[in-house]
Structure 1
Amino acid sequence: MKTRDADRLALILLLTPFVMWIGLLIVLPHAGVVLLSLREKVAPRMFEYGLGNYIAFLKEPIYLNTLMRTAVMSLLVTALALLVAFPVAFYIAKVARARSRAALLLLCLVPLWVSDLVRAFGWIVLLRETGIVSSALQALGLAAGPVELLYNDATVVVGLVYTVVLFMIVPLVSTLDGMDDSLIEAGFNLGGSRLTVLRRIVVPYAMPGIVSGSIIVFMLTAGSYLTPVLLGGKTSMWFTEQIYDQFITRFNWESGAAFGVSLLVFTSLVVWIGLRLTGQQLATTVARR
């Protein structure tokens, strides 16, 4: 009996920090934001609860267009991050020697050693009119004058891919590392080409890692603020900028909260659709990584 009580106490002590973390830093703030989004201002310092903030959001085309644009761009970044990360993850998990795997993963971690702000300013130094790339193009005779490579969608996409690609590599390495090499050998022995083995064996096996990495990358990209604003400039048209504008510029916290909840619901819907299309479940993707 004493042993059972001791085990129960140990379990409670182990779970208490996690429960407090989830409750105080995730559940309560989100619940507060949801309640704030339902407040409608009817008079100075007088509020009523309703759906007015959401109705105003749905009636304004620019907000819906910005949300859809953010979703499309986030999906593009996710796809490009997958294309970049998959060969790297496969090499680390299946080709590289055991001693060099840790070093390769460490190299992938290097971009995370600095903040998003420093990484964004690094891209600005490279791509501005007087930056390294522009100067190199002029020195090689490929450009007659300064070349401005900032403040467009391509730059924003490149900056975001660079920022989030690690979060695609790690789940893929974790999944591919558990794959038996004999499966690939059997595919070649049965006459399959490299493309066939990749399509019929490697990709289906890596699907949980692909889905989990895509979910993480998509959510991080859709919720990004610094990179789109700094690299995209005034024409970035990113939905998080609309949220910032409501909170900070207009001091309309109720509307900003409604925008934030809308972004969360919309991105969650996109993730759910992706899970349905791929036949995966959270229990077999993110929860197992």
Structure 2
Amino acid sequence: MMQKDIKRLSLFLLFAPFALWIALLIILPHLGMFYISVREKVAPRVYEFGLENYINFFTEPIYWNTLIRTGSMSLLVTVLALLLGFPIAYYIAKIAGNRTRGALFLMCLIPLWVSDLIRAFGWILLLRETGVVSSSLQWAGLINTPIEFLYNDAAVIMGLVYTVILFMIVPLVSTLDGMDNSMIEAGYNLGGNGPTVLRRIIIPYAMPGIVAGCIVVFMLTAGSYLTPILLGGKNSSWFTEQIYDQFITRYNWESGAAFGFLLLAFTSLVVWAGLKLSGQTLNSTVAKS
């Protein structure tokens, strides 16, 4: 009995900080935000409970159009991050040596050593009208006048892919590293070529890592604020900008809280649909990774 009590106490002490972190920083704030989101301001400092804040979202096209646009661009960023990150992850996991693998991981981690703000300003220095890209094209004689590459969807997509691609690479490397090389060799020995082995062996095996990376990248992209604002400007509205505008500019915390929950519900619905289409579960993807 004494040993069982000690084990229970040890387990409790081990998980207590995590449980407090979940309760104090996630559950309670979300409950408070939900409480705010269902309040309607009928007079100064007078509130009633209702769904008016959610109804206003669906009755105003600019709000739900921005949410749909944010979701579609987030999906595009996720696809591009997968297409760029999969070859890198495969090379790190199956081709590179031990020393090279560490160096490649370090190169992928370097961008995370600085904040999102610094990385965004780095892209501004490259893409602005007097930036490195425009000046280099002029010097090479390819263009006659400076070109502004900022404040459009392409700049936002490049900045976001650069920011989140590491979160695609890590789960892919973790999954591909556990694949036995004999499986790939057997595919070639049975007459398969490169695309066939990739489609029939590598991708099915890496599917848990693919889904886990896509979930993380999509959620981070949809909830991004600094990169779309700095690189897209007024020409690339993001739903997080609408949330910020409700909270800070209009000081309408009720609508801001409702918009936040709508963003959470929308991204969760997309993730659920992705899991259903891929035949995966959270236990076999995110939890496993």
Category of TM-score, reference length = shorter chain? over 0.9
Equivalent residue, structure 2, for 1:203? 203
In structure 1, distance between residues paired with 2:98 and 2:178: 14
Structure-2 residue corresponding to 1:149: 149
Deviation at 1:100, TM superposition (A): 1.8
What is the CA distance between 1:111 and its match in structure 2? 0.6
What residue is the counterpart of 2:234 in the other structure? 234
1:28 is matched with which residue?
Answer: 28
Q: What is residue 264 of structure 1 aligned with on the other side?
A: 264
Q: How does 1:47-66 map to 2 (within 5 A)?
A: 47-66=47-66
Deviation at 1:99, TM superposition (A): 2.3
TM-score where L is the length of structure 2: 0.99
Match of 1:248 in 2: 248
1:118, distance to aligned residue in structure 2 (A): 0.1
Counterpart of 1:15 in structure 2 is 15
TM-score, structure 1 as length reference: 0.99
Deviation at 1:132, TM superposition (A): 0.6
CA distance in 2 between counterparts of 1:233 and 1:218 reads 21
User: Take 1:49 and 1:285, find their aligned partners in 2: how far apart are those partners?
Assistant: 39
Q: What is the SS of the residue equivalent to 2:130?
A: coil
Tell me the residue number matched to 2:117.
117
Question: Quick one: which amino acid aligns to residue 202 of structure 2?
Answer: V
Specify the alignment match of 2:213 in structure 1: 213
SS in structure 2 of the partner of residue 191 of structure 1 = coil
Secondary structure of 1:42's counterpart equals strand
Matches of 1:98 and 1:125 in 2, distance apart?
Answer: 35
Q: Structure 2 regions of 5+ residues with no counterpart?
A: none
Shift of 1:285: 0.2
Give the whole-Å Cα distance in 1 for the aligned partners of 2:34 and 2:190.
Answer: 56
Matches within 5 A, 1:123-134: 123-134=123-134
- Runs of 4+ in structure 1 deviating by more than 4 angstroms, as ranges, are none
Q: Distance in 2 between matches of 1:260 and 1:53?
A: 11
Whole-angstrom CA distance in 1 between matches of 2:99 and 2:232: 40
Q: Deviations over 1:160-208 (max 9, x none)?
A: 0000000000000000000000000000000001000000000000000
Return 5+ residue gaps in structure 1 as ranges. none
Alpha-carbon shift at residue 102 of structure 1 (Å): 1.5
Amino acid across the alignment from 1:42: V
2:102 matched residue in structure 1: 102
User: 3-state DSSP class of the match of 2:47?
Assistant: strand
For residues 40 and 20 of structure 2, what CA distance do their matches in structure 1 show? 31
Q: Distance in 2 between matches of 1:263 and 1:204?
A: 31
Amino acid of the structure 2 residue aligned with 1:93:
A
**Match for 1:112: what amino acid?**
L
Equivalent runs, 1:171-190 vs 2, <5 Å: 171-190=171-190
Q: In 2, distance between residues paired with 1:251 and 1:235?
A: 24
Total equivalences in the alignment: 289
Query: C-alpha distance in 1, partners of 2:284/2:53?
Result: 37
Letter in 1 for 2:170: V
